[in-house]
Amino acid sequence: MKPFDEMIETGGQVRPPYGQLKCWLDTQNPERLAQKALDAENVFRKTGITFAVYGDEEAAERLIPFDIIPRIITGNEWRRLSQGIEQRVMALNAFLDDIYHRQEIIRAGRIPRELFTHNDAYLPEMVGFRPPGNVYTHIIGVDIVRTEENQFYVLEDNARTPSGVSYMLENRETMMQLFPELFQQIKVRPVETYPKLLRQSLAAVAPPGCKGTPTIAVLTPGIYNSAYFEHAFLADQMGVELVEGSDLKVENGKVVMRTTEGNRAIDVLYRRVDDSFLDPLTFRRDSALGVAGIMDVYRSGNITIANAPGTGIADDKALYSYMPEIVEFYTGRKAILENVPTHRCSEPDTLKYVLENLADLVVKEVHGSGGYGMLVGPAASKKECEAFALKLKANPKNYIAQPTLALSTTPIMTEKGLAPRHVDLRPFVLVSDRIRITPGGLTRVALKEGSLVVNSSQGGGTKDTWVLDD
CA 383 from centroid of its chain's CA atoms:
32
Whether residue 36 lies inside any domain: the answer is: yes
SS3 assignment, position 263 = strand
- Neighbouring CB atoms inside 10 A of 13's CB total 9
Whether residue 3 lies inside any domain: the answer is: no
Same domain assignment for residues 456 and 314? yes
Same domain assignment for residues 304 and 375? no
Collect all residues with Cβ–Cβ distance below 8 Å to 15 and sequence separation of at least 6: 6, 7, 8, 9
Same domain assignment for residues 392 and 413? no
Domain boundary among 403, 421, 451: 403
Q: Is the pLDDT of residue 329 over 90?
A: yes
Same domain assignment for residues 364 and 411? no
> Picking from 27-41, 50-64, 167-181, 277-291, which range would have the lowest pLDDT averaged per residue?
50-64
The pLDDT of residue 416 is 85
Same domain assignment for residues 440 and 393? no
**Domain coverage including residue 431:** 16-339+405-467
Q: Is the pLDDT of residue 169 over 60?
A: yes
Whether residue 10 lies inside any domain: the answer is: no
Same domain assignment for residues 398 and 427? no
Same domain assignment for residues 233 and 351? no
- Read off the pLDDT of residues 422-446 as tens digits, 9 standing for 90 and up: 999 999 999 999 999 999 999 999 9
Domain boundary among 403, 418, 449: 403
Q: Say which CATH number the domain at 384 has.
A: 3.30.1490.270
Same domain assignment for residues 269 and 378? no
Same domain assignment for residues 149 and 252? yes
Same domain assignment for residues 285 and 312? yes
Same domain assignment for residues 287 and 259? yes
Whether residue 88 lies inside any domain: the answer is: yes
The CA-to-CA distance between both ends of the chain, in Å, stands at 32
Q: Is the pLDDT of residue 281 over 70?
A: yes
Q: How many domains does the chain have?
A: 2
Q: Is the pLDDT of residue 58 over 60?
A: no
Question: Which of 55, 342, 393 lies closest to 224, judged by CA?
Answer: 55
- Read off the pLDDT of residues 370-392 as tens digits, 9 standing for 90 and up: 556 788 888 888 899 989 999 99
Whether residue 11 lies inside any domain: the answer is: no
Please report the DSSP string for 212-239 in residue order: SSPPEEEE---TTSTTHHHHHHHHHHHT
Same domain assignment for residues 385 and 422? no
The pLDDT of residue 271 is 97
The pLDDT of residue 166 is 93
CA angle 311, 316, 321 (to 5 degrees): 125
Whether residue 23 lies inside any domain: the answer is: yes
Domain boundary among 366, 385, 403: 403
The pLDDT of residue 372 is 64
Whether residue 222 lies inside any domain: the answer is: yes
Q: Is the pLDDT of residue 120 over 90?
A: no
* Percent of the chain scoring above 90 in pLDDT: 72
The pLDDT of residue 186 is 95
Q: How confident is the model at residue 315 (pLDDT cuts 50, 70, 90)?
A: confident
Whether residue 323 lies inside any domain: the answer is: yes
Collect all residues with Cβ–Cβ distance below 8 Å to 28 and sequence separation of at least 6: none
